[in-house]
Amino acid sequence: MRTFQAAHRATAIVAALSLIVPVAAAPPAPATPVGVNAAIRHQVGIRSAGTGQLRPAVLRAPVMLNDEVRTGSASQLQILLRDRSTFTVGANARVAIDRFAYDPATNVRSTGIQVARGAFRFMSGRALNHPSGPASVRTPAASIGIRGTIFEGAVGADAIGLANAQPSLAALHLKADPLTATFVVLRGPGAATQGDARPGAIDVTAGGATVTLDRPDMAVFVPSAGAAPVGPFAVTPRALTLLQPLLRTVPAAGTAVPTESGAGGGSDTGDRRGWPALIVAAIPAILLGLVALGSGHDESLPASP
């Protein structure tokens, strides 16, 4: 009897192990592509999720979910997402796309981006007259809800530099954190936009308060994590002059990996044109990205209307 019980117990253990071992040996799920590198300027590095190695960004190469992007001084990366939104990673930045879902059959989509440091620009597919879904950009101090438009911003020391170019903010003598301070400006289209462009807006939430920007060239400043947004206010030409060199992209392959730190770069002449010019300037990189998406990196992008 004891021999039978021992044999039965051994059989049960073997059966249980046969169920456990295949699960333990299953390979990890493949990384999900969210877009392609459409334009690279100077020093841009990418680190895949779960790895410690920073590698040079490659033009037309796919960008995967949770990839971390780091840029050096006077360096930029423009990413064309699968839903035709574009995200520009500016100078001295650290960014990751940690949420992305897109169904071209139903146009259901959702995007989430973390910006830990540096300058950035988001141009939603809706701003390019393509339908858009929920999208948000999160910084250490704020969450930015996007409703189909173009906006720019900066986190850290660059954000403080932009705030110092606003006389109304300088007069407040705000205590800004060089690690978490966030400056955001809506470039358009806004609620009063004329013509066929679809208007949009952004909602900046921080410190339990939300400020909505729905007019081009209106901005807010969040001085530190936990602080409420200050604004809205009209961005000064001087602030735009400081911001635009941080976001200028040139379609050229990057050749070097950035260091862990770097000072701001770029000339002192910025682009103060409105949102239509920003779209026109982005077209070459967008077309290059569409070619890359159509060459095998992504087969689900719908045809242009």
2 located within any domain:
no
Least confident of 163-172, 208-217, 266-275: 266-275
Cβ(57)–Cβ(67) under 8 Å? Answer: no
Which pair of structure tokens corresponds to residue 186? 């809506």
Cβ(144)–Cβ(204) under 8 Å? Answer: yes
8 located within any domain:
no
Q: How far apart are CA 94 and CA 89, in angstroms?
A: 8
Could you tell me the sign of the dihedral formed by the alpha carbons of 92, 202, 98, 34, in that order? negative
191 located within any domain:
yes
* CATH number reported for the structural domain that contains residue 142 in this entry: 2.60.120.1440
pLDDT of amino acid 301: 32
Calculated CA dihedral for residues 279, 282, 283, 286, nearest 10 degrees? -120
Confidence of residue 99 (pLDDT cuts 50, 70, 90): confident
4 located within any domain:
no
Residue with structure tokens 């009063």? 192
7 located within any domain:
no
Instruction: Tell me: pLDDT of 22 over 60.
Output: no
Pairing mode of beta strands 135-138, 108-123:
parallel
26 located within any domain:
no
How many domains, the chain? 1
Measured between alpha carbons, how far apart are the two ends of the chain, in Å?
A: 77
pLDDT of amino acid 255: 40
Classify burial at 134, counting beta carbons within 10 Å of its beta carbon; exposed 0-12, middle 13-18, buried 19 or more.
middle
Which pair of structure tokens corresponds to residue 247? 């976001």
Cβ(80)–Cβ(289) under 8 Å? Answer: yes
Domain that holds residue 278: 33-297
Mean pLDDT of 264-279: 42
Mean pLDDT of 142-170: 93
* Candidate ranges 61-75, 195-209, 264-278; pick with highest mean pLDDT: 61-75
Calculated CA dihedral for residues 283, 97, 119, 252, nearest 10 degrees? -40
21 located within any domain:
no
Residue % of the chain over a pLDDT of 70: 63
Calculated CA dihedral for residues 203, 239, 89, 38, nearest 10 degrees? 100
pLDDT of amino acid 170: 86
pLDDT in tens, 46-93: 999 877 789 999 999 999 999 999 999 889 999 999 888 899 999 999
pLDDT of amino acid 279: 46
pLDDT of amino acid 162: 96
Q: Cα-flanking dihedrals φ and ψ of residue 278, to 5°?
A: -65, -40
DSSP string, 181-209: -EEEEEEE--TT--SSSPP-EEEEEETTE
Residue with structure tokens 């400081």? 242
Please state, rounded to an integer, the average pLDDT across all residues of the chain: 76
250 located within any domain:
yes
